[in-house]
Amino acid sequence: MLLNKLIPFIFFATVLFIPHILLGQDELKNPLRVGSPNKLNFANRTAETPIIESDFPGGNVVIDKVFGDTIFFKPDLRDTPREWFYWCFTVKSTSNKKWFFKATKPNVLTNLGAAFSTDGGYEWNWIDQENHLGPDLFSFKFSGDGKPVMLSMGMAYTQKNFDKYMLKHKNSKYLRKSVLSTTRAGRKVEQLLVSNFDSEPKFRVLFTARAHAGEMMSNYIIEGMLDALTSNNTRMDQFLDKVEIMIIPFLDKDGVEQGDQGKYRSPRDHNRDYSGESIYTSTKAIREDIPKWIDGLPWVGIDLHNPWIKGENNEWVYFVGNEDERISAAQENFVNTLIRTQQGPLTINSKTGFLAYGTAWNKGSNYEQGYSFSKWASGFLGEGLIMPTTLEFPFGINNGQLVTQEKARLFGKDLIFALSEYIEGQ
């Protein structure tokens, strides 16, 4: 009797899941990756087989094979010698059916599965959780209209997103855009100045982002900060009367546009390029130009990052503690200010909001390749530096709260309001 009851289940599991875990059939001899035509095109394709592409800004994938209704994929690591998790590709399907996507490397999906966009990567949503079938497996039902659906491990953000966003600020009296440096590939690394330019600043603040190309959530925080700063809010106007803020939205501009991981880039990534001779134009420019820009004024430096893809220390907002006790105390003071003043839906708390030096990954061994931004900035202690710090903002989940583009923007608003109060107390 028990066997009879189990037969339907066994049949269902065989039909649904076996094709998603088999690895030995119908493999592509040359897995598809950026730099190739990036279109799924092999001998046994059918009319139902979707077209998969990654030859667009921010695109990244290696398609290992297609088996039945399942696409086997993994991130393209390129010049990153360690395993990492960024991927982003489009799927065009003319069949009204569900396709399964099986990652052939572990830890490349968040605990929400994948994100998707139907408008070319401007508006993003997480897949329905009923389609998140396991740590390495998700499905997506296509309408069959042949229009591209973008799938990614997170809510991808590239130059086109930034350009569209900046249109709303093209006439802002508070905002000026210029160029920090030009990359090896000839791309411009933007720098934004935000202030009331009719008054002389008494403080300066530097924000950097995308030192690791795949860490896109930082840009939504920047959008939220800029929205708040240019909102004609009385508090923000008073803040800008005495503070000049520089924001560098894409430190690794080439990596962002090429769809690189950025993290652990060989021989070292941008956030280990602040000692010795810098090998990237943007970090070199920061080291050479920022001290001149600061010009002896009190200043704060905040480097915006996203952590590993999921799990402990990766699914909540936190700031990274400095090894210098004086700086660490200043950082904790700022974290407490943010906790006390926050208004948005994504919260930070005293239990998880500060990762002290010597805890988890935040140890000296993590900086053997070179100085990070925060380590470099710490060298200005006693020369006007108030506080350097690193913010880690999660991709999908924050203390059990769902992370979205808009919620990240609202966190950016909270961040800049907290900073205004923090500087007011200096």
Question: Along the 426 residues of the chain, how does pLDDT read in single tens digits?
Answer: 434 544 444 444 444 444 444 433 334 434 444 334 444 444 456 778 899 999 999 999 999 999 999 999 999 999 899 999 999 999 999 999 999 999 999 999 999 999 999 999 999 999 999 999 999 999 999 999 999 999 999 999 999 999 999 999 999 999 999 999 999 999 999 999 999 999 999 999 999 999 999 999 999 999 999 999 999 999 999 999 999 999 999 999 999 999 999 999 999 999 999 999 999 999 999 999 999 999 999 999 999 999 999 999 999 999 999 999 999 999 999 999 999 999 999 999 999 999 999 999 999 888 888 999 999 999 999 999 999 999 999 999 999 999 999 999 999 999 999 999 999 999
So what's the pLDDT on residue 45?
A: 66
78 is in which domain, residue-wise?
Answer: 18-152
Domain-located, residue 11: no
| Active-site residue (options: 215, 244, 392, 424) | 392
Domain for residue 13, yes or no?
A: no
Tell me, yes or no, whether 116 and 131 share the same domain. yes
75 neighbors 105 (Cβ within 8 angstroms): yes
Residue 3 domain flag? no
Verdict on whether the full-model pTM lies above 0.85: yes
- Element (DSSP H or E) covering residue 64: strand 62-67
Please report the pLDDT score of residue 323 as a whole number: 96
- Domains of the chain: total: 2
Task: Give the CATH number for residue 32.
Answer: 2.60.40.3120
Query: What integer pLDDT is reported at residue 5 of this predicted model?
Result: 44
Looking at the fold, whether 374 and 269 belong to one and the same domain comes out as: yes
Q: What is the pLDDT of residue 47?
A: 72
Active site (annotated) includes residue 392: yes
Distance set, CA 425 to CA 353, 386, 422 (Å): 21, 11, 5
pLDDT for position 242: 98
- Are residues 355 and 414 located together in one domain of the fold? yes
Question: What is the rounded CA–CA span in Å between residue 65 and residue 103?
Answer: 11
Q: Is the CB of residue 266 less than 8 Å from the CB of residue 259? A: no
Question: Are 213 and 126 in a shared domain?
Answer: no
CB 348 within 8 A of CB 339: yes
| Strand segments (E) across 272-373 | 299-305, 318-320, 354-355
Query: Can you give the pLDDT at residue 132?
Result: 99
Sign of torsion over alpha carbons 256, 260, 266, 271: positive
* Domain termination site, one of 108, 135, 152: 152
CA distance 208 to 214: 14
Residue where a domain terminates, one of 102, 122, 152: 152
The residue type found at 322 is N
